[in-house]
Structure 1
Amino acid sequence: MSQAEANEPKKSKFKMPNVIVIMLSLMLVACLFTYIVPAGQFDTNEDGNPIPGTYGTIEQTPVNPVEALNLILDGGVQASTVIVLLLFMGGFFGAIFQLDSIPNIINYLVYKYKNIGAMALSLGLFTLMGFIGFFIGGDMMIVFVTLGVIMARQLRLDPISALAMTFLPLFMGFSVGPSGMAMLGQIFASDTPLFSGYSMRTIIFIIFLIITGLYVAWYTKRVESKPAKSLMSNDHWLKELDSETESEDAVKVDSVSWQDVTVLMIMIIAPIILAIGNTVLGWSEVYGNSTFITVFFIAFLLSFLIKRKSVDEMISSFTKGVQDMVIVAIVIILATTISVILTEGQILNTIVFMMTDQLDDLPLGISAIVIFIINMIFNFLVPSGSGLMGVMVPILEPVADVLGLTQQVLITAIGFGGGLGNLITPTLGATVGAIALARANFGSWLKFMIPLFILWMITGAFILYYLANINWTGY
């Protein structure tokens, strides 16, 4: 076998279906579940939260495929906040990327530091995204994937690497850090102060950041040295890179303008300001998610003023950025519709009851690990941080009290299962949306994630076992 043949990318006969086809298929599976799984419900208190020990079966209310299509509008209504944020932020980010400041600086860094390799440069972006995810999160953050795509193309890496540098650390940080899933759980818990356990969760975040960073470094080094080892199921990405003959010249940038540097600084500072405002100044409590649009609109406006662009150019670039997000918005709506179908079929409570019924027979540390696994599975049906916490915390809180499991450990276990599980969940709009944005496919992403997810599960299990046995209260 020649060297050229050895370096030739692997080709797969199987072609991953279009993401829209996948989501419609999952909607049909959800419909089937409403016929098979018994319908049931818990009684609820005055706040609408389920009361443990009150589960009972009710008359079956299956949802047929035609009714499921009718529920797409309901899915859109439920996802409307995320969709609006995604479209506006996609417009802002897309417009800023069209200024070429970010590509110019990436080209400069690749040219200036080409001797240190793709691994070091990709780790730099990975770390930055991880710390942004530590402070803020949400489906709209997938717009940062575009930055990963630019970096990956300049480093001749595959779309999986683009996701690994951006989407992966953003959502990992949100899942295990103190400002993401943990904060959502503390909102629903009866006696846990917001942001309590901050120090321990910061340590947990650093542990996961190191493990994940080492895995990403290994993968990017592997693809850089031999593109044939990419986990992409096709070689389209490599052919596109090879066809861009002008990209070789683009990399040879030996200087950047002060305008480009300023635009980059605005892009870095904007999410930091947002994180400080939401966590320290309490913006999120007063304005909700509206601050995302405000902060990034100002960043967008300043960037275009610095680059001396006209109003027409601003609007045209913003519109193009929004267009790139439309398919992602549709995917998120369909993913939300799956949850609506399961709710209309009244089978979510049945699944929760079946999963949690035997927890009181397990040792303390093992119970925490089982709660982690249960929520990872249940997250497939309710791939929403607030939705998962809203369903599981009220039900599991009394169970945890009986077991002697602290609320902090309970919240951490649910957060691990739901947050980390989101990164391999095809029913989460952000996950499939990010994959679509990177022009990857879910099958290839899953192959990349499975070894890492096993490492996460082992790490999470050890952490939960330790926290449960030291009776961690977080304050």
Structure 2
Amino acid sequence: MSENDEKRNKTVKVPHTYVIIFFVVLLAAVLTYLVPAGKFETKEVTYEKGGTEETETVLVPESFQIVENESGDAVREGTSLFEPGGGAGLLNYMFEGLVSGSKWGSAVGVIAFILIVGGAFGIIIRTRAIEEGLLSVIDKTKGKEGLIIPTLFFLFSLGGAVFGMGEEAIAFAMILVPIVIALGYDAITGVMITYVATQIGFATSWMNPFGVAIAQGIAGVPVFSGAPFRIVMWLFFTVVGIIFTWRYAAKIRKNPRESLSYESDEYFRKDFESKDLHVKFTTGHTLVLLTVGAGMVWIIWGVIQHAYYIPEIASQFFTMGLVAGIIGVIFKLNNMGVNDLADAFAQGAKDLLPAALVVGMAQGIVIILGGDNPAEPSILNTILHSAGELFSGVAPAVSAWFMFVFQTIFNFFVVSGSGQAALTMPLMAPLADLAGVTRQVAVLAFQLGDGFTNVIVPTSAALMGTLGAARLDWGTWFRFVLKFFIVLFVCGSLFVISASLLSFV
């Protein structure tokens, strides 16, 4: 047994993601007995975005009140063990989390999105076009494989910055994780250059329509203002991400057993070993890959030009998979028949089912805390209000940093960028005025706190979907990404404090 194997065996086994979430749910249930429920009044605000008028329902900061019973005591509702009639008891968290929300977001919409994307790529993978394309890439890039990492990281970061790329990374991970493993890297590298890169772009964006645009509109800051500062910030963090990933990938390529995902990567290695690795790239394979490329262009166009979101993007992926499957049947790719098309879709969806379940479980945490509706009594509203109280009476730069810390923590409960903006910016904007912090800095604290945390929190549907595609357990991922998250947090803190000192507007 090698020294690395001995170290791996001595390492304490990280609990399964389902176990971690269950204990977080237990903690949330305990908090409902300790923290009183509160609520806000709400109002509609409108703002301009891309030449059109957008509307958001936001809370009124000064309207917060603790919910009291008839005796005038604060209500601590507590969480029952089981609640009939579709209630939110402790043991109801799984089902209620899975069916919560709508087709426009977590959890139902994201779960459907994950399963449909998984099925679509199951069909594409069944055609073997991906493998044949991989073999061609590997054959033609011998000696230049290192260029793949910085190039792809940059492009995915740009996608996150320009059109808020997030859930789309799940599909790309299904394609690129096998590529990087075949090139001698690991699944962690694949997640870094896809999902993590998009979140760096998302967090530092100067024009993301789902994050910074909404936050600026709600805060009363001109939409897409402050672009030069944010572009410099985006370049800085993208370079940091590339260097971190490049150095890690180089170490893994020298000794693959150093990887925390070495054992789970065996699935992809065996998949390659069990197949004929001679390049047989045919016209049919070319048509499938062109279909995938055209589908991605269609998705990007839809998001940028028409604000397509989960329902439209899921249908676009389904269309992409269906067309690829028809091509596979016509050209007999990998001996495909009509029934194989259906079987491949089912297998692809099955592969991402664990990730879909995690999305529902994570949403169950928010439900136990009372939900994220500011107008309904919940301890989440009380936590939000209490955090805002901490900002009074301190130096502007410190207040700005506190805002960043708060947004970082709050993102565990409300991962949606637009949802978090609607909940927190109505409170942060007036608090920024009182603390002597510009509202632009408050928006900056929001977007950095919201975006960077997405690389680590198990409540992120996009992260869990990507990890599912890479066959990575969240505990394993956490052990790796914690160091990188600390780097992002420290650098983000410096940017927020510097922006405050410079009175960034």
Pairwise TM-score range, normalised by the shorter structure: 0.7 to 0.9
Q: C-alpha distance in 2, partners of 1:371/1:356?
A: 8
C-alpha spacing 1:395/1:101, structure 2 compared with 1 (3 Å)? same
TM-score by length of 2: 0.82
Q: C-alpha distance in 2, partners of 1:366/1:262?
A: 56
State the shift of 1:136 in Å.
Answer: 3.6
**Please, what is the CA RMSD of the aligned residues?**
2.9
* Residue number in structure 1 paired with 2:91: 69
**Pairing 1:175-194 to 2, within 5 Å after superposition:** 175-177=203-205, 178-179=207-208, 180-187=210-217, 189-194=218-223
1:424 alignment partner, SS class: coil
C-alpha spacing 1:468/1:138, structure 2 compared with 1 (3 Å)? same
Deviations 1:385-426 (A, max 9, x none): 233212111111111223343333222211111121121112
**Aligned residue among 181, 203, 215 for 1:153:** 181
Greater mean deviation of Cα atoms: 214-223 or 378-387: 378-387
* Residue number in structure 2 paired with 1:228: 257
1:267 counterpart = 2:267: no
2:143 alignment partner, SS class: helix
**Aligned residue among 284, 295, 316 for 2:343:** 316
* Residue number in structure 2 paired with 1:421: 453
Q: Which amino acid aligns with 2:202?
A: F
**Aligned residue among 246, 251, 273 for 1:217:** 246
* Residue number in structure 1 paired with 2:152: 125
Q: Which amino acid aligns with 1:21?
A: V
* Residue number in structure 2 paired with 1:53: 62
Deviations 1:267-288 (A, max 9, x none): 3443343233322x2x12xx65
TM-score by length of 1: 0.86
Q: Which amino acid aligns with 1:453?
A: F
Structure (1/2) with the larger strand percentage: 2
C-alpha spacing 1:435/1:242, structure 2 compared with 1 (3 Å)? closer
Q: C-alpha distance in 2, partners of 1:9/1:107?
A: 34
1:111 counterpart = 2:111: no
C-alpha spacing 1:7/1:50, structure 2 compared with 1 (3 Å)? closer
**Aligned residue among 278, 287, 290 for 2:311:** 290
Structure (1/2) with the larger helix percentage: 1
C-alpha spacing 1:258/1:472, structure 2 compared with 1 (3 Å)? farther
C-alpha spacing 1:140/1:17, structure 2 compared with 1 (3 Å)? farther
**Pairing 1:364-383 to 2, within 5 Å after superposition:** 364-383=396-415
- What are the ranges of 5 or more consecutive residues in structure 1 without an aligned counterpart? none
Q: Is the 8 A contact 1:10 1:228 kept in 2?
A: no
- What are the ranges of 5 or more consecutive residues in structure 2 without an aligned counterpart? 46-56, 68-74, 83-88, 102-106, 332-336, 372-376
C-alpha spacing 1:129/1:294, structure 2 compared with 1 (3 Å)? same
Deviations 1:38-91 (A, max 9, x none): 333334446753322343333111113431233444322211122222222222
C-alpha spacing 1:184/1:90, structure 2 compared with 1 (3 Å)? farther
**Aligned residue among 404, 426, 449 for 1:394:** 426
State the shift of 1:445 in Å.
Answer: 1.5
State the shift of 1:210 in Å.
Answer: 1.1
Q: Is the 8 A contact 1:149 1:438 kept in 2?
A: yes
1:207 counterpart = 2:236: yes
C-alpha spacing 1:190/1:296, structure 2 compared with 1 (3 Å)? same
Q: C-alpha distance in 1, partners of 2:496/2:26?
A: 36
State the shift of 1:249 in Å.
Answer: 6.1
Q: Which amino acid aligns with 1:431?
A: L
Deviations 1:259-304 (A, max 9, x none): 434433443443343233322x2x12xx654331343334334433
* Residue number in structure 1 paired with 2:334: none
Greater mean deviation of Cα atoms: 460-469 or 373-382: 460-469
